[in-house]
A = this chain, B = another copy of it.
Amino acid sequence: MFDGDSLESVILMLDGFACRYKHLDDGRRQITGYLVPGDLCDPYVFMLRKIDYSVATLCPALIAKVPRSKLVKILDEYPRIARALWWSALVDEGILREWVVSIGRRTALERTAHLICELYHRLQAVGLARNNRCEFPITQQDLADSLGLSAVHVNRTLQELRSKKLIVQRNHSLVMLDPEKLRDLALFKQSYLHMAEDGNNSRHEFMTSRAKHAPPLSRMIDQKGG
């Protein structure tokens, strides 16, 4: 799905990771957000005819493609889903604001820690993380393009997080060894994610609602694209 495309259907992440990103003309890339299971790639289909960013998967992913017309009908029938969608867009905006704060004012170390915290908490909210461990299929180059750093510097920053005994990475998963210290270092305040106290949010509801009422899924296994 690319910058400038028209929107004829909405894509829901069922499994795997993806990201939104933009390219500058000379090739510089900036990732503007991650999509985890339960997220919609493009909740803008109702207002904007074109999207102004691209989406790429970071690993093989499972998605549901919901035709625009079908989604409109679903939203009419199940207003809770409409509300969840609206909520979700606002949460996305809050996350985006925090990214601006991170890239603008946090140091490389704080910024990297903050992104790890964000992803862990979002995955936890949809039941995909526990015991301080979660999938982490994001390359150092992707992190660099998310954090406004170079890949080399991300590498050294991750080394520092490891040497401080805050995280370990194995295969494509990550463990927070001392979540509290990590959040302190990151200046991380969970509240901006607007989740309930128990760590759940309405996306979870959206996912489970979806399971009962969803249109047929199209299955797509996709290699990482750029």
Contact = CB atoms under 8 A, between A and B. Distances in A.
Nearest to A53: B97
A147 B87 CA distance: 28
A24 to B, nearest CB: 5
Interface in A96-111: 96-101, 103-106
A97 to B, nearest CB: 4
Give the number of copies in the complex.
Answer: 2
A101 B33 CA distance: 11
Contacts of A46: 86
A44 interface: yes
A35 to B, nearest CB: 13
B32 A101 contact: yes
Contacts of A25: 187
A211 interface: no
Contacts of A191: 50, 52
A98 B32 CA distance: 8
Interface residues of A, number: 43
Contact of A105 (B28, B44, B83, B89): B28
A95 to B, nearest CB: 10
B100 A32 contact: yes
**Most chain B Cβ neighbours within 10 Å, of A20, A28, A191:** A28
Nearest to A147: B104
Contact of A97 (B22, B98, B187): B22
A106 B26 CA distance: 11
Contact of A100 (B30, B48, B92, B106): B30
A32 B147 contact: no
A59 to B, nearest CB: 22
